[in-house]
A = this chain, B = another copy of it.
Amino acid sequence: MPSPTTENYLKAIYALAERDTNRPLVRLGELATELKLTPGTITTMIRSLAERDLVTYQPRAGVKLSAKGNQEALQVLRRHRLIELFLVEVMKMDWSEVHEDAEALEHAVSDKFLAKMDEMMGYPTEDPHGDPIPVAGAEIPASQTRKLSDVPSGNYQLSRVNDQDPEFLDWLSASGLRPGTRFAVTSHDPRSGVLLLQLEGGAAELPIGIGAAKNIRVKPLGTH
Contact = CB atoms under 8 A, between A and B. Distances in A.
A140 interface: no
Contact of A108 (B87, B90, B97, B105): B105
A113 B100 contact: no
A42 B109 CA distance: 28
A190 to B, nearest CB: 41
Say whether chain A's binding surface is mostly helix, strand, loop, or mixed. helix
Interface string A178-218: 00000000000000000000000000000000000000000
A203 B112 CA distance: 36
A120 B117 CA distance: 16
Contacts of A107: 108
Contacts of A104: 108-110
Interface in A63-121: 87, 90-93, 97, 100-101, 104-105, 107-110, 112-113, 116-117, 120
A110 B120 contact: no
B97 A112 contact: yes
A82 to B, nearest CB: 13
Interface of A: 87, 90-93, 97, 100-101, 104-105, 107-110, 112-113, 116-117, 120
Given A100-B110, A108-B108, 10 more contacts: A87-B113, A90-B90, A93-B113, A93-B116, A101-B110, A101-B112, A104-B110, A105-B108, A105-B113, A107-B108
25 contacts: A87-B113, A90-B90, A91-B113, A91-B116, A91-B117, A91-B120, A92-B116, A93-B112, A93-B113, A93-B116, A97-B112, A100-B110, A101-B109, A101-B110, A101-B112, A101-B113, A104-B108, A104-B109, A104-B110, A105-B105, A105-B108, A105-B109, A105-B113, A107-B108, A108-B108
Query: Which 5 residue pairs across A and B have the least CB separation, nearest first?
Result: A108-B108, A104-B108, A91-B116, A101-B110, A105-B108
